[in-house]
């Protein structure tokens, strides 16, 4: 028998506004005088009896607020979950497996139960095996996972032997809670007496006296990583440690996190930059399911096999297809010269902005292309775009065609009370099929911008930018807070819209796989942040990547199965060969 779950999103269920329990009036089971959909006696929200529901699909389609989801679970899940929050609420199957001396990665979509899993690991949530009215006995829970990697972990949770230190995902919320200096914050949590060493490893020494409210996103990220590491624990968990970091810092942080795993310490990482995730972890658990409805944790896999399985969308051992299509990395076909229509070009631009000097050699942008931009933060990327848009006049050099620019900034406005549907008015009117539907933004229409999660706000801001009437679109770090699936769906949306509207899109990002997947050409910024920035390019992908990687001392190969880019181990045969042949980016 198929196990069916019914989810009611309580925040979206408004019985007095839908016509007094419209779902109950329409339910064919209710019409036979059975009580399938009834009002909850306390919350007054709709409740669904999962045993009576036949899965006809009428109520999720007809609820005007999209408050209901009816899901047939995969056959392999014909077992109780490890935890369910309540009637018609989210449920989680199984748990990730931290292992001493290893870095274990968790790979999966946002909203799929990672926080629930962490809360169970730390003992904050006591799992109930799906029986939300009664607390399950730990012996019963352990018996259910007997013989699996989880048995040991559950025993440790039972005996309260797991102490966890956690680096949260949204580091930009830290300045709202703490106003002192970096050193003051670190001192508050320092149980190891190692502020100096850790600050040095994470390149924070020079900002120890800076105010938390005044440091950049990348600095804040490294402060948060330092703070989590300074606490005594035997399980360290880093939730998206690469956001706001440039690639150099991502690699440095990866090495740092790897160095923490030892005989007494397990490390877990949630990360959506797949190249960094691959570099940082030894083993991975894949998480799949339906966001906000249910989540499943797969068994442990080696990192390489696990990422390839994730991209394929099919778990062989479990016989579960969790995505209807595989994600493939195809070689980018360079466009023929005769197909290229110029948009604008520049010649020997030079501009001094305070202590900072920006220089750009000769270059040209075409219609219908996506150009990736690589470079450290504070190196002149935004200033250059402002020059192209005519908002800043260069001291020297020419822009040959003034153009209209639409811009999605790196840091998004989180305080606005504007309703999403109003903010996206142009996108709804003109690009429903190209932006609203593929990004599933209609679900967010009634929310305020201030109520959105980091990932939701990112998608809304990208759609808002791309719906403007402009010649050139600049997306600054569009991948931040998006999970891997969302990064790929955003890439497809940008690619399709670029093609359809003959757009020119510049994408500044530090996720190399995202840029590899998305870009036709690359611009590389070199120099020293806050002092000097040199724009080079645009180049064909291979040439641009080679130039960029040469400054980082790393080389990338393509995985033989999935064709995804992977960082070569420093000094390995491949690394030495590729460096010798000056082919740091293998395409
Ligand atoms: Fe009304 Fe939808 Fe709530 Fe049912 S689930 S009571 S249709 S708002
Ligand atoms: Fe009733 Fe289930 Fe059909 Fe909804 S899906 S209308 S609860 S039978």
Q: Which residue spans within 129-263 are E strands per DSSP? A: 164-167, 235-239
Nearest atom of ligand 2 to the alpha carbon of 30: 1
Nearest atom of ligand 2 to the alpha carbon of 27: 6
Q: 47 CA distance to ligand 2 centroid (A)?
A: 11
533's CB contacts (< 8 A; 6+ apart) are: 356, 357, 358, 359, 375, 379, 380, 381, 383, 384, 525, 526, 527
Ligand 2 pocket test: pick from 13, 23, 27 the residue with the most ligand atoms within 8 Å of its Cβ: 27
Nearest atom of ligand 1 to the alpha carbon of 21: 6
DSSP state of 213: G
Q: At residue 431, what are phi and psi to the nearest 5 degrees?
A: -135, 45
317 contacts 285 by C-beta, under 8 angstroms: no
Q: Kindly state the tokens that stand for 447.
A: 């929310």
pTM, whole model, 2 decimals?
A: 0.86
Q: 22 CA distance to ligand 1 centroid (A)?
A: 6
CA-nearest residue for atom 3, ligand 2, is: 56
Ligand 2 contact via 48 beta carbon (within 6 Å): yes
Q: 67 CA distance to ligand 1 centroid (A)?
A: 6
Alpha carbon distance 47, 124 (integer Å) = 27
321-343 in b/e form (b: 16+ CB < 10 A) is ebeeeebebeebeeeeeeeeeeb
pLDDT score for 332: 57
Q: 329 CA distance to ligand 1 centroid (A)?
A: 42
Ligand 2 contact via 36 beta carbon (within 6 Å): yes
CA-nearest residue for atom 7, ligand 2, is: 53
SS3 labels along 24-53:
HHHCCCHHHCCCCEEECCCCCCEEECCCCC
Strands 235-239 and 472-476, by their bridges, are: unpaired
Q: Kindly state the tokens that stand for 23.
A: 């779902």
Q: 29 CA distance to ligand 2 centroid (A)?
A: 7
pLDDT score for 333: 59
| Residue that has been written with the tokens 């956001």 in this structure | 243
CA-wise closest residue to 299 among 130, 147, 78, 485: 147
241's CB contacts (< 8 A; 6+ apart) are: 167, 221, 225, 253, 257, 269, 271
266 contacts 234 by C-beta, under 8 angstroms: yes
438 contacts 492 by C-beta, under 8 angstroms: yes
Ligand 2 pocket test: pick from 4, 24, 32, 37 the residue with the most ligand atoms within 8 Å of its Cβ: 37
Domains and CATH numbers, the chain: 4-72 (3.30.70.20), 83-163+233-321 (3.40.50.300), 337-540 (3.40.50.300), 553-587 (no CATH)
Environment class of residue 514 by beta-carbon count within 10 Å: exposed (0-12), middle (13-18) or buried (19+)? buried
Nearest atom of ligand 1 to the alpha carbon of 22: 7
Ligand 2 contact via 63 beta carbon (within 6 Å): no
**Ligand 1 site, CB within 6 A:** 13-15, 18, 21-23, 46, 63, 65, 67-68
Q: Which ligand is nearest to the CA of 48?
A: 2
CA-nearest residue for atom 4, ligand 2, is: 59
Q: Which residue spans within 273-388 are E strands per DSSP? A: 283-290, 294-297, 301-302, 314-315, 320-321, 342-353, 356-360, 363-366, 369-374
The per-residue pLDDT string of the chain (587 residues; one tens digit each, 9 = 90 and over) reads: 668 999 999 989 999 999 999 999 999 999 999 999 999 999 999 999 999 999 999 999 999 999 999 998 887 777 889 999 999 999 999 889 888 899 999 999 888 998 888 888 877 888 898 888 887 788 888 888 888 777 877 888 788 888 889 998 888 888 888 889 999 999 999 999 999 999 999 999 999 999 999 888 889 999 999 999 999 999 999 999 998 898 889 999 999 999 999 999 999 999 999 999 999 999 999 999 998 899 999 989 999 999 999 999 999 888 888 888 888 776 555 566 667 888 999 999 999 998 899 999 899 999 999 999 998 877 888 888 888 878 888 999 988 877 888 988 877 777 788 999 999 999 999 999 999 999 999 988 988 898 888 889 999 999 999 999 999 999 988 998 899 889 988 999 999 999 999 999 999 999 998 998 899 999 999 998 889 999 998 999 889 999 999 888 889 998 888 888 899 988 889 999 998 988 888 75
Ligand 2 contact via 100 beta carbon (within 6 Å): no
277 contacts 267 by C-beta, under 8 angstroms: no
Q: 1 CA distance to ligand 2 centroid (A)?
A: 17
Ligand 2 contact via 70 beta carbon (within 6 Å): yes
Q: 513 CA distance to ligand 2 centroid (A)?
A: 42
Ligand 2 contact via 7 beta carbon (within 6 Å): no
Alpha carbon distance 126, 450 (integer Å) = 31
Q: 8 CA distance to ligand 1 centroid (A)?
A: 9
Q: 34 CA distance to ligand 1 centroid (A)?
A: 18
Q: 134 CA distance to ligand 1 centroid (A)?
A: 28
Alpha carbon distance 168, 392 (integer Å) = 38
CA-nearest residue for atom 4, ligand 1, is: 23
pLDDT score for 2: 67
Alpha carbon distance 402, 470 (integer Å) = 12
pLDDT score for 1: 62
CA-wise closest residue to 459 among 417, 423, 430: 423
**Helix/strand/coil for 314:** strand
Any long-range contacts for 547-553 (C-beta under 8 Å, 24+ apart)? 548/374, 548/375, 548/522, 548/524, 549/584, 549/585, 550/584, 551/526, 552/247, 552/248, 552/251
Helix or strand (DSSP H, E) at 249: helix 247-258
140's CB contacts (< 8 A; 6+ apart) are: 129
pLDDT score for 200: 96
298 contacts 276 by C-beta, under 8 angstroms: no
pLDDT score for 135: 75
Ligand 2 contact via 35 beta carbon (within 6 Å): no
Helices 182-189 & 217-230 angle (0-180, nearest 10): 20
Q: 64 CA distance to ligand 1 centroid (A)?
A: 7
Alpha carbon distance 525, 359 (integer Å) = 10
pLDDT score for 244: 87
Helices 454-466 & 484-501 angle (0-180, nearest 10): 0
Angle of CA points 180, 182, 186, to nearest 5°: 100
């Amino acid at each position: 028998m198929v196990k069916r779950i019914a989810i009611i999103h309580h925040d979206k269920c408004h019985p007095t506004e839908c016509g007094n329990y419209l779902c109950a009036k329409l339910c064919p089971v209710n019409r036979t005088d059975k009580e399938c959909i009834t009002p909850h006696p306390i919350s007054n929200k709709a409740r669904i009896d999962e045993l009576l529901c036949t899965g006809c699909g009428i109520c999720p389609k007809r609820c005007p607020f999209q408050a209901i989801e009816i899901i047939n679970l995969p056959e392999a899940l014909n077992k109780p979950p490890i935890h369910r929050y309540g009637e018609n609420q989210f449920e989680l199957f199984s748990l990730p497996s931290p292992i001493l001396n290893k870095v274990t990665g968790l790979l999966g979509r946002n909203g799929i139960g990672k926080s629930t899993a962490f809360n169970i690991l730390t003992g904050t949530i006591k799992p109930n095996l799906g029986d939300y009215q009664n607390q399950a006995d730990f012996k019963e829970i352990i018996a259910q996972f007997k013989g699996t990697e989880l048995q040991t972990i559950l025993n440790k949770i039972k005996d309260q032997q797991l102490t966890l230190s956690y680096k949260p995902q949204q580091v930009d919320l830290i300045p709202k809670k703490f106003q002192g200096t970096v050193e003051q914050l670190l001192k508050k949590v320092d149980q190891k007496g190692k502020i100096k060493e850790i600050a040095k490893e994470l390149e924070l020494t020079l900002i120890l006296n800076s105010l938390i409210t005044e440091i950049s996103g990348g600095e804040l990220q490294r402060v948060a990583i330092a703070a989590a590491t300074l606490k005594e624990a035997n399980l360290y968990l880093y939730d998206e440690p690469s956001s706001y970091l440039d690639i150099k810092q991502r690699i440095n942080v990866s090495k740092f996190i790897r160095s923490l795993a030892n005989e007494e310490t397990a490390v877990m990482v949630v990360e959506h930059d797949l190249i960094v995730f691959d570099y940082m972890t030894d083993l991975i658990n894949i998480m799949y399911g339906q966001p906000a409805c249910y989540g499943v944790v797969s068994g442990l896999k080696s990192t390489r096999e696990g990422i390839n399985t994730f991209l394929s969308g099919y778990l062989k051992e479990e016989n579960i297809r969790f995505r209807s299509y595989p994600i493939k990395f195809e070689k980018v076909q360079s466009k023929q010269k005769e197909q290229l229509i110029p948009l604008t070009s520049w010649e020997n631009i030079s501009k001094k902005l305070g202590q900072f000097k920006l220089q750009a050699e000769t270059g040209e942008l075409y219609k219908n292309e996506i150009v990736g931009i690589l470079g450290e933060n504070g190196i002149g990327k935004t200033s250059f775009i402002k020059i192209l848009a005519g908002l800043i006049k260069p001291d020297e050099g020419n822009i040959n065609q003034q153009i209209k620019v639409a811009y999605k900034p790196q840091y998004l406005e989180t305080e606005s009370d504007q309703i999403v549907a109003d903010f996206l008015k142009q996108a709804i009117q003109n690009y429903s099929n190209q932006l609203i539907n593929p990004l599933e933004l209609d679900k967010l229409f009634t929310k305020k911008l201030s109520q959105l999660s980091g990932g939701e706000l990112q998608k809304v801001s990208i759609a808002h930018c791309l719906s403007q009437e402009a010649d050139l679109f600049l997306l600054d770090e569009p991948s931040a807070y998006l999970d891997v699936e969302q990064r790929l769906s955003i890439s497809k949306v940008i690619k399709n819209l670029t093609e359809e509207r003959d757009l020119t899109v510049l994408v500044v990002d530090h996720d190399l796989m995202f840029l590899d997947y998305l870009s036709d050409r690359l611009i590389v910024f070199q120099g020293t942040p806050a002092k000097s920035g040199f724009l080079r390019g645009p180049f064909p992908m291979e040439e641009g990547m080679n130039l960029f990687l040469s400054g980082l001392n790393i080389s990338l190969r393509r995985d033989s199965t999935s064709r995804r880019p992977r960082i070569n181990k420093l000094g390995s045969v491949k690394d030495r060969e590729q460096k010798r042949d000056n082919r740091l980016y293998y395409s």
